[in-house]
Amino acid sequence: MNDPQTVKNREFQVEEPRQRRWLGITWPCFAVCQWNALALLTLVNLLSYFDRTVIFPMFPFLQDEFQISDFRLGLLGSVFMIVHSLALIPFGYWADRASKQKIMAGGVLVWSAATLLSGALSTVKGLLAARALVGVGQSAFAPAGTAMISDCFPASFRARVQAIFNLGMLVGGVLGLASGGLLAQRFGWRYAFVLAALPGFLLVIPIYRLRVPIASSPESPAVWDLLKNPAYVMVLVGGTFAVFAAAAFATWGPVFGTRYHGLSITQMSVWMAVLVLTGSLAGVLFGGYVGDRLQAQWPGGRALTIGVSLLLGTPFLLVAVTTDSQSKFLVCIFLATFWLTCYHGPATAVIHDLTPPHAHSFAFALYLFVTHLAGDSTAPALIGLVADHRDLRLGMLTAVAATFLAALCFLLVTILIRRRANKGV
């Protein structure tokens, strides 16, 4: 019989997969339960971001009905992110010590119910409260989900499996941006919320009953131990700039296309679906693959992948914001999306590389807390405020600058990781 200490020591050990060649390519052979967990969590992540972004293309309909300014429209995004960020810390701490499946299932139920409720509200204050509740529900999912994936798979594949998980975020976010306006135009914005909410209820039971080979750790993560690591702190700073830029374009991108390039809501929705979705799918998979390959060659390879890809994407983002050519705008949106989404898989992997397994949920929750509170929660309202006083193009230029600063931060993370490795830490 195994003693408790032996079980604890073996808890986070995941064997490297056997390799098989098919069509001339070597493929890892993971267990069925690992693939099931990854597929289900990716699907839930898709619905999470669909429900998060579906409201943004509805802004013209909400503004017309409630007669509110751009700033108050932006608050619908900012309030969600503030509440979401504040709830991440307790849920991240809890997920490292309790059943991740139960926590995630409860979160899905709460945010789906709140999305459903949004369609029945008749005041802006009520809608703000419902979006805040969506934020609470979604804060229970990401820390537990990313930690479960990293713990289920070998560290050498960490960026790739996290990239697959983040495909859900990208596909869900783009589908929300693309279909929110179409659904609101076809059925009305209230029924659009109802349709967005229904799929989530179907996934509560499968998440609750999910079985994975990794148990919870009884050890408590220490926030001060994480903040003593300069590389992790710089990841927080770089992530904040990157998330600020992403939130700015996710919130105001559809509106920008209609105001400056003469695209209708329907046209912009279609272009967002085609260009951003294809660019995202290619970028996130490319970033995960390159990040793992570079990490196998030297320490800091995943952070280097992030820094270089953000740096390469910045010029295309700048042209997209400043050009008056509709064709240049669309082409640069696609190219910028490709390079900027290379960030997602390696970013989660870097966080888990820098932290012990028993703190994976909390470390990612703290990352989301900082980046969302300083990035996501400020970007929608700040860009809207600049648009009210000057113009939206100037507001979007701040997002371009934030992308460049994020690239510099992650290049510094690479240096810090290399120094740490040379010291044998």
Q: What single string gives the DSSP state of each residue in 272-332?
A: IIIIIHHHHHHHHHHHHHHHHHHHHHSTTHHHHHHHHHHHHHHHHHHHHHH---HHHHHHH
pLDDT tens figures, 311-333: 999 999 999 999 999 889 999 99
The per-residue pLDDT for 319 is 95
The per-residue pLDDT for 303 is 95
243 or 5: which leads in pLDDT: 243
What confidence category does residue 8 fall into, taking pLDDT thresholds of 50, 70 and 90? very low
| Residue 121: burial class (beta carbons within 10 Å; 0-12, 13-18, 19+) | middle
52 or 27: which leads in pLDDT: 52
The per-residue pLDDT for 174 is 77
Helix (H, G, I), strand (E, B) or coil at 389: helix
The per-residue pLDDT for 200 is 93
**In the predicted model, what is the mean pLDDT of the chain?**
84
What confidence category does residue 201 fall into, taking pLDDT thresholds of 50, 70 and 90? very high
The per-residue pLDDT for 12 is 43
What confidence category does residue 264 fall into, taking pLDDT thresholds of 50, 70 and 90? confident
The per-residue pLDDT for 220 is 58
Whether the per-residue pLDDT at 164 is higher than 70: the answer is: yes
Q: How far apart are CA 200 and CA 141, in angstroms?
A: 12
384 or 402: which leads in pLDDT: 402
Whether the per-residue pLDDT at 386 is higher than 90: the answer is: no
What confidence category does residue 218 fall into, taking pLDDT thresholds of 50, 70 and 90? low
pLDDT tens figures, 96-113: 888 888 999 999 999 999
Percent of the residues in the chain that have a pLDDT greater than 90, as a whole number: 37
What confidence category does residue 366 fall into, taking pLDDT thresholds of 50, 70 and 90? very high
pLDDT tens figures, 274-313: 887 888 889 999 999 999 999 988 888 999 999 999 999 9
Whether the per-residue pLDDT at 153 is higher than 70: the answer is: yes
Whether the per-residue pLDDT at 238 is higher than 80: the answer is: yes
Domain 31-422: CATH class, spelled out:
mainly alpha
What confidence category does residue 397 fall into, taking pLDDT thresholds of 50, 70 and 90? very high
Domain boundaries, the chain: 31-422
11 or 192: which leads in pLDDT: 192
Range list of β-strands (E), 379-422: none
User: Taking the C-alpha atoms of 392, 394, 398 and 403 in order, what is their torsion angle to the nearest 10 degrees?
Assistant: 80
Ramachandran angles phi, psi of 331, nearest 5°: -65, -45
Q: For 159-184, what is the mean pLDDT?
A: 85
Percent of the residues in the chain that have a pLDDT greater than 70, as a whole number: 89
The per-residue pLDDT for 72 is 78
Name the pTM for this structure. 0.78
Q: For 56-63, what is the mean pLDDT?
A: 84
The per-residue pLDDT for 20 is 57
Q: How far apart are CA 363 and CA 50, in angstroms?
A: 25
Q: How far apart are CA 44 and CA 27, in angstroms?
A: 25
What confidence category does residue 18 fall into, taking pLDDT thresholds of 50, 70 and 90? low
Q: For 144-169, what is the mean pLDDT?
A: 86
Whether the per-residue pLDDT at 4 is higher than 50: the answer is: no
Whether the per-residue pLDDT at 203 is higher than 60: the answer is: yes
The per-residue pLDDT for 100 is 87
Whether the per-residue pLDDT at 22 is higher than 60: the answer is: no
22 or 90: which leads in pLDDT: 90
Q: Are 73 and 185 in contact (CB under 8 A)?
A: no
Bridge partners (DSSP) of residue 50 are: none
